[in-house]
Amino acid sequence: MTEDFGLEREHREFRDTFRRFVADKIAPIAERGEREQRFPREVYAVLRDAGFLAVNFPVEVGGGGGDLLMGCIFYEELTRASAGVSAGVFAHQHLAAGPVFHLGTEEQKQEFLLPALRGERLGAFGLTEPDAGSDIRGIKTTARRDGGDFVLNGSKLYITNGSIADFMLVAARTSQARSADALSMFIVETRDPGVTARDLVKVGNHSSSTAFVSLEDVRVPARRVLGEVGRGLAQLKATLTEGRILVANRGLGLAQEAWELILRYANERQAFGRTIGSFQGVAFKIAEMAARLDAVRLMIYRAARLKMAGHDCVREASMAKYLASEAAVRVTAEALLLHGGAGYMEEMKVARLYRDAPEAWIGEGTNEIQLSVIARSLGLL
C-alpha cells in the first residue's frame, strides 16, 4: 500500500527504510527462530547496529528520538516478518525498559535501562499469574520487608522473555488489601537465587520465549523498588494506554501481511482459465480486507496523535487494540482459506500468520477488557 495516512515525510521515509531492512536482515533470523522455536537474541544486535533499536526513546538515553507514530510503524513492520520476534522486542522495549525510563532512579537507569537500549541486557515484565491476569488487584505474589531488602514469593505465568531475560519487572503485593495502594513494582535480577523459569509450548509465536516464572524467597534490595512502594497499580495503568496503541500495530502487521499474500496469490493462481481474483466471491473478500485494514490503521494513528498531543485517549487506545486484534484473526483466517490447500501447508507463511493471530486477542488486555473500557467511557457499566 502506498497511502501515507497523513504521515510526515520522516515517518514515510522511516517506514520504507525499515521495511527493506526487516525483509533483508530480520526475516531470515526470524525464520530460524521459528524453526528452532526460540527467540533469536541476536536480533537486538542487528537492530542496534542499524540504529533501529529503541526508535521511540529519547536520544539522551540512547534511543532514536522518534515519536509514538514511529513506534507504531516499527511494530507493524517488525510483526510482518515475525509476530514472535515482535513480541519479544515489545516486551523488552515497552514493558521492561519503558517503565524504568519513566519511573526509574538515575542508578536504575544506568544499571538496567541504558544496557537494555543497547541490546546488552534483556528485559521481561512479570504481571500475569496463574490466578490473576486482567484482575490486577488479584495478584498474589508477595513482597515482605526484611531489613534493607524485600523478599518476594510467588509465581508469574505467560511471561514473554521469561526464560531468557536478564532482569524482570515484577508486580508484587506489599499489602494484603485489594486497595489501590497494595501493589509495588520491583526490578528482579533473574540470576538471583530463588528465580527459576520454565518455557511453555504455544500454538503460535514460536520465535518468542513464553515462560512460567517462580519466585521463592528472592531477595531484592530496596534500591530496586521501581517508583514508589504502594504505587504499583497506578504505575501499571499509566503504561496501558501507550502500550495498547503500540501493540495494536502487531495485530495490524499480521493482517497486512496476510492481505498482501492473498492479493498476490489471487492475481497469480489460475482456476477455470482465469485468475481466482477475477471471481467476485474472492474479489469481494479481498476488498473487504482492504477496507478493514485502512480503518484499523486510521484508528491506531488517531489514538497515537491524540496521545502525542497530550489528550486523554484511553477509549481510542482500546478501540485501536480491539479493532486490530479482530482484523488480525479475521483477515489471516480468510487469507488462509482463499489459498485453498496451499494455505494449510506449513511451508506457506500464511499458515504461520493464522497460528500467530489469536494472541492479538489476549496481549495487553483481552478484547472483553477493551470493550469494558470503551463501555465505561460511554457512561455504561
Catalytic, out of 76, 129, 189, 364: 364
364 catalytic residue (yes or no) = yes
In sequence order, the β-bridge partners of residue 184 are: 172
DSSP collapsed to 3 states, the chain: CCCCCCCCHHHHHHHHHHHHHHHHHHHHHHHHHHHHCCCCCHHHHHHHHCCCCCCCCCHHHCCCCCCHHHHHHHHHHHHHHCHHHHHHHHHHHHHHHHHHHHHCCHHHHHHHHHHHHCCCCCEEEECCECCECCCHHHCCCEEEEECCEEEEEEEEEEEECCCCCCEEEEEEECCCCCCCCCEEEEEEECCCCCEEEEECCCCCCCCCCEEEEEEEEEEEEHHHEECCCCCHHHHHHHHHHHHHHHHHHHHHHHHHHHHHHHHHHHHHCEECCEEHHHCHHHHHHHHHHHHHHHHHHHHHHHHHHHHHCCCCCHHHHHHHHHHHHHHHHHHHHHHHHHCHHHHHCCCCHHHHHHHHHHHHHCCCCCHHHHHHHHHHHCCCC
C-alpha cell, 305: 496523535
Amino acid at 175: S
Active site residues: 364
